Structure formats: structure tokens, C-alpha cells
Structure 1
Amino acid sequence: MASFLRSHLAFAALLVLGVALRALAVLGYRPALWFWADSFAYLSSGLDLRPLASRPSGYSLFLWLLSPLRDIQAVVIVQHLLGIGIAVLVYVMLRRRTALRGWIAALVAAPILLDAHQIQLEHLMMADLLFTFLAVAGVAILVWRPKPSVTAATAALLLLALATVTRTIGLPLIVIAAVWLLLTRAGARALVSGVAAAAVVLGGYAVWFHSAHGSYGMGGSSTWLWSRTMTFADCAKMDPAPRLTPLCPTEPRLAAPAYIWDATSPLQRVGAKREELAGEFASLAIRSQPLDFLRTGLSDALWAFEWERRVYPSPGPQSAYVFPHSAKPFPDKIASAGRTATQLTTAYQGSSGETRVVEPWAGWLRAYQEQGYLRGPFLAVILLIGLGGLFVRRWAVIPPLAAAAALLFAPPMIAAFDHRYIVPVVPLACLAAGLALGARRSAAPDVQPDQRRKVSAADQAAHS
């Protein structure tokens, strides 16, 4: 036992610090932090058990599963435990698959345990933390062994499909997983079983969506992609049909999300067919200006590597993604499905879920968050270390590195840059970096039993 503790002492110390920071969040911000109005849309869907039209409802199902607790604070405690679980999973994975010393593996997992923005996302009633846990767990199972077994392939793709019905950005991760099964020659049974598991989850959700909305889908809005194209679209180059011209941008250009909500947005001029017309306009803009589309999305994604966190899209403190000095009371306006925020939270736990800021705990956490987060250049270094693993033929870095790249670049390409979208990138990047730094403990798992017999016979002949 003493030897075990010594071997994991560094990680245990970091784990205690991570738990303490999360305890400050639970004590200082009760019962949770809210993101208007997305949090309440998820909560409404969880209460009514009905898929949302505008976004996938995997997180709503999560809230429904926890509803017997009748406690919003219990939900965020579970989310904090999942956040700790991500760090533990990365650490255990590195100790199992590599020869890294314990303190190095602990250092690789440290950003997950100690990043203030990771902890804030765990405390927020949003889908991102659940998505991150499912995505990291799926990728970790995929690389648990050099060649995934049928059971591992099935479990991995099942988790990645669940991540996708939580946030649709998980769809590329399923493709990455399937390609990895082909690259490792895991076999037809593993590939078919994994893809079938993912298909059951995605297909089942599509059927549920159809039962509520009359069409098969995952939930989503074409207006997000349209808002992305509004930052570069040039109608002189596009030559849009007359029905699309009301959607053309005017100067000065707004930040992409502003085109969704701003009262002066062209979207407000097109009436009931806004989804159809926005989708058609976005498709035309991308086909007409593909290089502008790529340049805009990629340049925004690079903001993730800046030293200071860019406040986007508006100036001032980005209060939605930090622990605030004070919390505004719930407004009386409708939050979701004809109910106010107070009505929704009362229906879930029997009392209002308005955030209460409790000192001194909240103040200590705010002081920590001033510097206690992963700076952009360090994230770049972590990703580069993972990329370096390819040059030394440590192929296990491929799934986590590809997944991290997909989650880093896809959101700015199809919607907008948001620091909330960067948090899920970090654990996958850390996992890839750790696998790149540490050589395998043994080459034996890569050698099949019949090959080992041949090697043994060759060795005997060489020494006879």
C-alpha cells in the first residue's frame, strides 16, 4: 500500500487541490451557474422529456436521469465528479500505456484538475461537461490497447454516439474512431459492432426527434452556419437569387453570433422561412467563396492560442464563463416553453434555482481564476507535443490528437469562436501529449501470439 501511494503521490496531491477548488465552487455559488437561455431550454426538455428542435437533448436526458434527486446542486456535484473522472482517466491511461514517471503523468493531467475554466464549466448547467466526459472516455477506451477488442470498439463508439446526441460536434469523433479501427486492423467484427452501436444510438434519437417534430434529425439550426458566413459573404461574388438578397450583410460587419440575436440583423427581415433561406444562403456563400470560408474559420480558431483570453464577441468581462462577483436574479421574462426560469427550477427541485454568491468561498475562487487557467500558448505546446508523437511512431496519439483538432477547428468553421468550445479540447490534447512523451511499457501487446512463437523460435535458432 505504501509503495502504491508513493507511486501516485504527485497525482494524489493535485487531486486534493482539484477537489478543494471544486468544493469552493459548490460552497460559493449555490446551487449552480446558468447560461441564459440555453440552460433553461435543457432543463425544460428534461422536465417534459421532449427533444429540443434547436439542439440535441442528450444533456436534457442526463438532467431527467438525475431528477429523482430533486436538487440542482446535486447535479453540479455529479458534474464536478465527472470532471475529476476525466483527469483520473487520463492519468490512469498514461500510467498503463506508457513508461512515464508518476509525477510527469500527473503534470500532464494537471490542466484538467486545476484549470478554473474547466471547473466553471462543470458548475454551469450546460451540455459541455457531459459531452467532454463522454468524448474523452470514448477515445480513451479506443486506445486502451494497441488493437481494440470487439468489446472496446463497441463501448468506445457507443460513448462517442452518446456524446454526439449531447453536442452534434461529436459526429467527427465517430468517424475518427471508425478510421482508427481500420488502421489498427481491429477486425470486421469490432468495426461492425462499434458502428452498429453508434447507429443504434443516433438512429434511436432520430426516431425520438421525429415523434416530436415530424422529421428525422438531431436538432439544430442552419442560422448558425449562416451567421458564420455573414462575416465574409460578398453578395457581389455570390449573385444570390432575389429571395436571398435580404440576407446579404451590410457594413459594418458584426461578430458572427450577433447576427443571430441582434435586432438589426438581416435575419429579422425574412419571416417564417428563415431556417430554409439561411441554409440556402450559407451553402451558396461557402460554394462561392470557399477560401474565404476556410480563412475566416481558421483565423478565428487561432484565438485559442493567445496569451489573454479574447472576450468575444463583445467587450467587457466574459461573465458567462467565469465565476462572477455577483449573480443577477432570474428575470420575469420567459425562459423556455412558456415558463420562467423560476418556474422551471422550482418544477425541478421544489424551489427557485437562483444563484447565490456566498463569501468568502466565492472570493477565494475568483482570486484563483485570475491566473489559474491554461494559457493559449501552453495549449499550443501541448498540441505540438502530441503532434510530435507521430514523428516518433507513437501511433496511439492519433485518436486523441485528431479528436482535439476536430473540436478545436470545427466550431469556428461552422458557428463561431467561443472559449467554451476550447475546454473539451484540453483533456484530449493532454492525453495525446502524454502518449507522445511516454514510450510503451512493453512492445508485447503489439505482437500477436503466433508472431511471438515465431520470434521465440528464431531466437533459439540464433543461440544454438
Structure 2
Amino acid sequence: MRGRLTPRDPMHPVAWAREDLPGWARRHRWFLVVLGLGALLRLVTVIGYRPALWFPDSYTYVVTAMRPRPDLVRPAGYSMFLRLLEAFHSFALVVTVQHVLGLLVGVMLYVTVLRRGGPPWAAVLACVPVLLDAYQIELEHLLVSDSLFTFLLVGAVCLAMRRPLTPRSAAALGLVLAAATLTRTVGLPLVAVFALFLLAYGVRRAAGESGPGGESGSVRPGRAVARLTVPFLVAALLPVAGYAGWFYATYERVGLVGSNGVFLYARTMSFADCSVMKPPPDLAVLCDPRPPAARPASQEYIWNAQSPLVRLPGITFTKETDTLAGRFASLAIRSQPLAFVRTTLTELGRSFTPGRPVYPDAATYGYYEFPATVPPPPGRHPAVVGKEFAQRYEGGPITVRIAEPFAGLMRAYQDVAWLPGTALLVILLVPPAAWAVRAGPARRAPARRTTGAAGETGAAWTRLVPQNHASSNRAPANWGIAWATAWALLLVPAATAQFDYRYVLPAVPLACLAAALSVRGPGRRARTP
């Protein structure tokens, strides 16, 4: 009988680690360099700006965390994240956790690209924007929901790419996406995107083209689809429905927030022409007589005291006001559909500008810059009230303390280290361009025959649904779900609110993931890091 292993034995975990760690570090040295630089930059930020940086929305999040109830404008997911950390009475800890989430996003991207068979150099490059972009680091240091939302959404996409997909993993995917939706409502339409992805995967699995574990195609299409989509939809929609029930019990209104009509009204004011719309008298009070070119940014119609909507009696987000604003927006879109499409494309195009022009106004733009001086205290009444709750959360003052030279280093770094909008557009164009390059030879090659309606349908989804290891030599790794999600994150705010630099950053890691997966050379097998 063999005795206990000692550290000298090659099979002992300590001895194994000594032998394997240097080789592992050499294989992943470039990623470790990028990850280390990202961690160092975040450490400098934490030292330079204490305890955290504030955005106007931050105070509302803190109020909801300290006094749990649904908010009319924002879902409470991020507030519950704050509440989990409330016992430590430290906003510095909150942003430190957000920085760690940012680093973990980079790790998830790197591991997923390698597991799906992408080249190591592409895996490293995919991580660079999320780990080293100064605006990404600044966003993580703000008390806003975007860092948590990005982590959850990237986690959902990476989970969707793991193999094999089972009912349990589909349910886990639904729960992660539900958490993302309750953090930012833009996640709700993504439930449909992921459901479509699972539908396609189930069809292809039934067709036997690339099912997990090499199934032969004997599974019925309906059963294969239901095994994944049903647990996914149940897990994704039940938490959302529960939150909607809480919201209804609080306000007697259906929904997750009570501001959809208001925000859509503000969005349509970029083109709404009442002479074309001919609104009834109750809607005519929301008209702006100025031509669209002379009007302010959309957000001014929500927060500016001179907005026709804000001048109405009561608070802006009452049920009556939100319903009225929604009716006006619906009429504007029906009356001027081409104008709505044109202005949506204009807002979307702001994501791809070569520079970083000031938009929507200097005040909002300034919140995304590392400040050189201590920011002034909040002026709006809700934020003033929120400041009192924030001081209770912190257990002391929340005034930003700027420590030089660390803060100055980050300001100088932010001047040069950021991803231009045109670069993001190029990254988004890489996957379809790579697909087109590969599709040419594939069209000229003899097509593999598939039988049955399920086989024909499955072939149509080849580029959307992930490939398993056996088929990784024949087709690029899956990039469709990451690519579609990135575009949705850019398009939905442009169509329903307005462009904001803050809304672009969560789409960047998914665009990079899609690009890294699309450039995988033929014949490369998926690998385990």
C-alpha cells in the first residue's frame, strides 16, 4: 500500500504547481501583462480619487439601497448591489469591487476566446479595451450601474458559449440575464435575442449538425428546442415578473419603471413636428414650437424646468404624465416614421465618431472625465436628499478627495488611452467581413446534404449557433450572439432615449469578443486555457 504523497512526489499538488505554473505563465504572459497593467491603473485610480466619483443618478441608487422600494426611473438591481455592501460603510469598497468586476470581464473574454478556438493574440487584443481604456476605468469608479451591468451581460454571453448547453446551463443563463435586466432595463429586449439563439441552437442540435456531445440528430426538433428555451425563459422572466409585481404593489402601475413614456417623448422631440402630427388638444400642450434643429438635446425635455412636460402639474413621472408623454411619442413616430428612423441612425452614428465631441452637454460629458478639482455638491433637490442618505451609507462625509500625483497620472492617461468610435465601428465590421471571406470558398465547395426541414433550418443558423469541437475545423467559432448583443446595446438607447458615451462602453467588450472569435483560422481546434 502506497504511503501519503510528499511535496517531493511529482503527483503532489505542490510539486505539480511548481512544475506547471511557470509553463502556464509563459503561455499566457501577454494577457498577464495586460491584466497586470489594468490592475495597476485601477489601483492608481482608487488612491487618486477617494472614496468614489459621483454621477447625478448615483444619489437615486443610494436612496433606493437605503430605503428599498422600486424607483420610477431606474430598476433597483444596482441599488441591491449597493445594499449588499452597505454593512462596510465604504463607497471606496464599492468602486473597488466594480474595478474587480472590470478585471473579471477581461478574464472572461480571454478564457472564452481560447475555449472557442480563437488565436491567443486575438484573445489578448479582445481584452485590451476593457482592461486599459481610461474611460472604462473611470466608469468603474463612478457609482452607476454600468459596470455591474457589463459584468452580468458579458457573463451571460460567455455562459451561452460554453459546451454543452443543457437545461441547467440555460436556466443559469436566464437568471444572469434577469439580473442584468433588473440592473438596466435595456437588458429586457436581450431576453428575446438570447431566446432566439437558444431556439437556433436547439434546431441545429436536432438536425445533428453540431449538437453537444456529437448527437446523431435523433432528437426531435421541438423537444430539443423546449429543453433549452423553456428553462431559460422561466428563469429569465420569473424574477422580472416578481419585480414587476413589487412595482405594481408600490405604484399600481404595470412595468419595471414608470418613465418609458417620458423618455420616448424626449427622444421624439428631436424630430416631432406638431404641424404634421396634428395632435389633439390634450397632447398639443407637449409641442415645442421651435424647429427641431433649434431644440436642445433630448434629455432637456425630461429634466429642464422649461420643458413642456416638466411644466405640467405634479412630478414628471406620474402615471398620468407618463401615459400622456407615451401617447405623444407614439403619435410622433406613426406620423413621421422616416424622421424617427433618420434621427435614430443619427444618434447611433454618434457611437462611431472619430473623436470624442462634447455631447449631450458639457455637464454630462464632464462626469466621464477624471476631475482636476473637487466636484461641486449636488444642486437638484433629489440629489440633495440622496446626499443625506449617502452620508448615512458611508458613515461620514462623501466629498471627493483628490490625491496627487496619482489623480494627475490618470488624467494624463485619459488624454491618450481610449477607444475611438471609428475603431469600435471597425471592430464591429470584422466579424461579417471575416464571414464573407470564408463564405466565398464555402459556396464554391460541394455542399453537404442535409435532410428534413430541421436540417435545412439548422443550416441557415450556422453562423449564429456555436460550433462544437468536432465542427470547429469546418466553420468559425460562434460570434453571432456577442455581435448581435453589442449592436442591440448601441441601437436600443439610440431609438428610445439618446446617445450617451456611458451607453457605448458596455458594448465594447462584446464587440471585441465577436471580432476575436471571427478571425479564428481554419483548422484551429478549441482549447482549454
Equivalent residue runs for 1:255-270 within 5 Å: 255-270=297-312
Give the equivalent residue in structure 1 for 2:72: 53
Q: Deviations over 1:232-275 (max 9, x none)?
A: 01111111001111111222222111111223221133324422
Distance 1:99 1:217, change over 3 A: closer
SS of the aligned residue for 1:217 comes to: coil
The CA deviation string for residues 56-105 of structure 1, in whole angstroms up to 9 with x for no partner, is: 1100011111112221100000000000000100000011111403x331
Alignment-derived partner of residue 110 in structure 1: 128
The whole-number CA distance in structure 1 between the counterparts of 2:124 and 2:394 is 38
Match among 105, 124, 144 for residue 142 of structure 2 = 124
Q: Following TM superposition, by how much is the alpha carbon of 1:358 offset from its aligned partner in structure 2, in angstroms? A: 1.1
1:175 equivalent among 179, 184, 192: 192
1:390–1:156 CA distance, 2 compared to 1 (3 A): farther
Change (3 A) 1:47 1:415: same
1:97–1:441 CA contact under 8 A, matched in 2: no
Gaps of 5+ in 2: 1-20, 206-223, 315-319, 439-462, 464-475
- State the secondary structure of the residue aligned to 1:113: helix
- Change beyond 3 A, Cα 1:271–1:390: farther
CA shift, 1:331, in A, is: 4.2
Do the aligned residues in 1 keep the contact of 2:115 with 2:526 (CA within 8 Å)? Answer: no
- Segments of structure 1 that go 5 or more residues without pairing to the other structure are 445-464
CA spacing shift, 1:340–1:173, aligned 2, 3 Å: closer
CA contact (8 A) 2:99 2:137 kept: yes
Q: Which residue number corresponds to residue 271 of structure 1?
A: 313
1:395 Cα deviation after fit: 6.1
Hey, what's the Cα distance between the residues in 2 that align with 1:104 and 1:217? 41
What is the percentage of aligned positions where both structures have the same residue? 43
Greater Rg by CA: 2
Q: Pick from 330, 344, 353: which aligns with 1:283?
A: 330
Native 8 Å contact 1:386 1:429 kept in 2 = no
CA spacing shift, 1:215–1:32, aligned 2, 3 Å: same
Shift of 1:329: 4.0
Deviations 1:377-434 (A, max 9, x none): 1111110112335434436111100000000111011001100000001011011111
Question: In structure 2, what is the Cα distance between the partners aligned to 1:225 and 1:332?
Answer: 26
Partner of 2:287: 248
- 1:156, CA displacement in angstroms? 1.4
Distance in 1 (CA, whole Å) between partners of 2:435 and 2:313 is 51
Distance 1:315 1:353, change over 3 A: closer
Query: TM-score, structure 2 length as denominator?
Result: 0.80
Picking from 172, 179, 190, the partner of 1:162 is: 179
User: For the residues of structure 2 that align with 1:23 and 1:395, how far apart are their CA atoms?
Assistant: 35
Instruction: Please give the alpha-carbon distance, in whole angstroms, between the structure 1 residues aligned to 2:520 and 2:509.
Output: 16
**After alignment, is 223-232 or 267-276 more displaced?**
267-276
Alpha-carbon shift at residue 327 of structure 1 (Å): 2.1
Instruction: Look up the equivalent residue of 2:238 and give its one-letter code.
Output: V
* Contact 1:45-1:51 within 8 A present in 2 as well: yes
**What is the CA–CA distance in structure 1 between the aligned matches of 2:362 and 2:254, rounded to whole Å?**
39
Instruction: Give 1:78's aligned residue.
Output: 97
Alpha-carbon distance between aligned partners in 2 of 1:34 and 1:267, rounded to the nearest angstrom: 27
Between Structure 1 and Structure 2, how many residues are aligned? Answer: 440
- The correspondence for 2:266, drawn from 211, 216, 227, is 227
Judge conservation of contact 2:118–2:477 (CA < 8 Å) in 1: no
- State the alpha-carbon separation in 2 of the partners of residues 183 and 95 from structure 1: 23
**Do the aligned residues in 2 keep the contact of 1:79 with 1:129 (CA within 8 Å)?**
yes
Aligned to 1:458: none
Q: Give the drift of 1:316.
A: 7.5
C-alpha distance in 2 between matches for 1:170 and 1:158: 12
How far apart, in 2, do the equivalents of 1:350 and 1:316 lie? 28
- 1:449 aligns with none
Letter in 2 for 1:412: A
CA distance in 1 between counterparts of 2:266 and 2:153 reads: 27
Any conservation in 2 of the 1:209–1:218 contact (CA below 8 Å)? yes
Paired amino acid for 1:261: W
Alignment check: 8 A CA contact 2:258 2:322 kept: no
Secondary structure at 1:396's aligned position in 2? coil
Q: Which residue of 2 aligns with 1:239?
A: 278
Of 207, 210, 215 in structure 1, the residue corresponding to residue 248 of structure 2 is: 210
Letter in 1 for 2:189: P
Per-residue Cα deviation, 1:292-317 (whole angstroms, up to 9, x for no partner): 11110111111111111121122588
